[in-house]
């Protein structure tokens, strides 16, 4: 599930707006050393308004008689599992469609390019940054070793198995189906997202 990677806002209406402040536009407050001085007017937050409209996701499907012939408990267990998986896939798809087109991003040709990309983030955001790629991209990164033969991506021993870190950043991957490789106009591989 990619949901932990995004901010989920609780709202009380089905449609509306939210204001967010651009982080980089915050400036320091004015230093006042004389208490008899008027406090100068400060700068105002650079707000960006985001419109939202809540919708529902729904599917209708038919169950074969062979499934319905099973016990009610087994049918309910199967339905719960199916709906839980479908919910994760649906939410992941909604998140992935909001990502910028990876074709527009700089291609990482050497391992140090990863660090260059991470350090383009604002320092306040860097600590919570996550590296997201597809399965093929993860496999490529997973095979990179240092001069001593040690893998640079390490399992995160503080988390469940299957969680990896690179330089303190969690590496998350999704199936190539959902986040495909970047291809040229002839359909040839260019890069991993």
Phi-psi region of 149 (alpha: psi -120 to 50; beta: other; left: phi over 0): left
Residue 11 has pLDDT above 70, yes or no: yes
**pLDDT tens sequence across 62-109:** 878 888 888 889 889 988 999 999 999 999 999 998 887 765 565 677
What is the phi/psi pair of residue 128, to 5°? -105, 15
Average pLDDT over residues 178-190: 86
Rounded to two decimals, the pTM is 0.75
For residue 107, give both structure tokens.
């291609």
What's the confidence (pLDDT) of residue 107?
67
The segment with the largest mean pLDDT, out of 28-42, 85-99, 154-168, is: 85-99
Contact residues for 19 (Cβ-Cβ < 8 A; gap 6+) = 47, 48, 49, 50
Residue 20 phi/psi, 5-degree rounding, is: -125, 150
Instruction: Give the pLDDT confidence score for residue 122 in this predicted structure.
Output: 82
> Is residue 193 predicted with pLDDT exceeding 90?
no
**C-alpha to C-alpha distance for 134 and 189, rounded to whole angstroms:** 14
Q: Helix or strand or coil: residue 58?
A: coil
3-state helix, strand, coil in the chain (%, to 5): 30, 20, 50
């Amino acid at each position: 599930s990619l949901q932990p990677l995004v901010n989920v806002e609780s709202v009380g209406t089905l449609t509306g707006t939210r204001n967010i402040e651009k982080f980089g536009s915050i400036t320091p407050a004015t230093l006042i050393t004389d208490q008899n001085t008027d406090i100068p007017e400060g700068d105002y937050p650079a707000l960006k308004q985001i419109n939202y409209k809540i919708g529902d996701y729904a599917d209708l499907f038919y169950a074969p008689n062979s499934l319905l012939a099973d016990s009610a408990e087994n049918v309910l267990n199967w339905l719960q599992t199916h709906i839980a998986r479908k919910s994760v896939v649906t939410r992941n798809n909604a998140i992935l469609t909001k990502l910028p087109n990876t074709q527009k991003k700089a291609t990482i040709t050497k391992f140090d390019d990863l660090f260059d990309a991470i350090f383009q983030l604002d320092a306040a955001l860097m600590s919570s940054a996550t590296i997201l790629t597809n399965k093929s991209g993860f496999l490529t990164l997973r095979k990179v070793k240092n001069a001593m033969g040690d893998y640079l991506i390490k399992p995160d021993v503080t988390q469940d198995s299957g969680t990896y870190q690179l330089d303190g950043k969690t590496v998350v991957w999704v199936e190539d189906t959902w986040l495909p490789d970047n291809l040229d106009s002839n359909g040839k591989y260019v890069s991993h997202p």
